[in-house]
Amino acid sequence: MVEPGPFRALSLDLWFTTVYHDGAFDARWEAARTELLVRRLRRAGRPVPPAEVRAALEAVRARLSAEGRDLVALDPVVLVQGTADALGAEPEGGVEATAEAFSSAGLLEYPPTLNPDALRLVRALDARGVPAVMITNSARRASSWSSFLSAGDRPRFRLIVSSADVGVRKPDPRIFHEAARGLGVPASKLLHVGDRWELDVEGAIAAGCGAALYRGLWHRYPAGLYPPTETPPAVPPGVRVVDRLDELLEPSLWET
């Protein structure tokens, strides 16, 4: 059964709900992560050549994938330590500090574009006493996203839940339950809003949350990023389908 509301808290997806990017970003961010490891890793006190670092990082990812590890639900410390071990190197400043820097690498230099509708929604609900959490399938830690969103005119979430910290990704119900626990509300009182039916809507329903499909940034998808997204012909009762986030400001949706 889909929870119809009213709700006590909002959950927003990150990608193509709160922010969006173009097709060049993944390569830029990967280059930034590799450059970070080149600066930090030392073998016998000397830097490791970039080509070796790049090859070792790729090999560690391939091995972890072959072992069935989900790279989007993996703490960056595993990649940093694995790459260092493969190279016989040590991270300057320690593994944990390097993992934190690896998690954030490239985000400030190549920031994704904020969806202003998300900013307005979070602010308007906060003024009513409705807190907001962000749930994301991301290889970056929540701390990286928190630092990014704390700068400038960006949404202020009470909590950020990232798959890199939780160890599972949407649509696994556990990531939604983590968000509800963090805000101190029952899952049934959390309305999750995101752009992917199979991740955001089906995941929220499985977790016992309310669910809304947001289509406002579908036109921003880089070519080939996702398989085609369509609204299912039979939307379950209680699930909202919106093209503008301000459609979710309807007073009857919220306990205030």
Last residue of a domain, which of 104, 123, 150? 104
Q: What is the CATH number of the domain that holds 136?
A: 3.40.50.1000
Q: Is the pLDDT of residue 43 over 70?
A: yes
Task: Say if residue 58 is in the same domain as residue 156.
Answer: no
Look at residue 251 and tell me whether its pLDDT is greater than 80: yes
Cross-strand bridge partners of residue 110: none
Same domain, 65 and 116: no
Whether residue 100 sits in one domain with residue 54: yes
pLDDT digits 0-9 by tens, 196-222: 999 999 999 999 999 999 999 999 999
Number of domains in the chain: 2
Out of 17-26, 49-58, 62-71, 111-120, pick the least confident: 17-26
Does some domain include residue 2? no
pLDDT digits (tens, 9 = 90+) for 139-164: 999 999 999 999 888 999 999 999 99
Percentage, residues of the chain above pLDDT 70: 99
Q: Is residue 3 part of a domain?
A: no
Structural domain of 66: 25-104
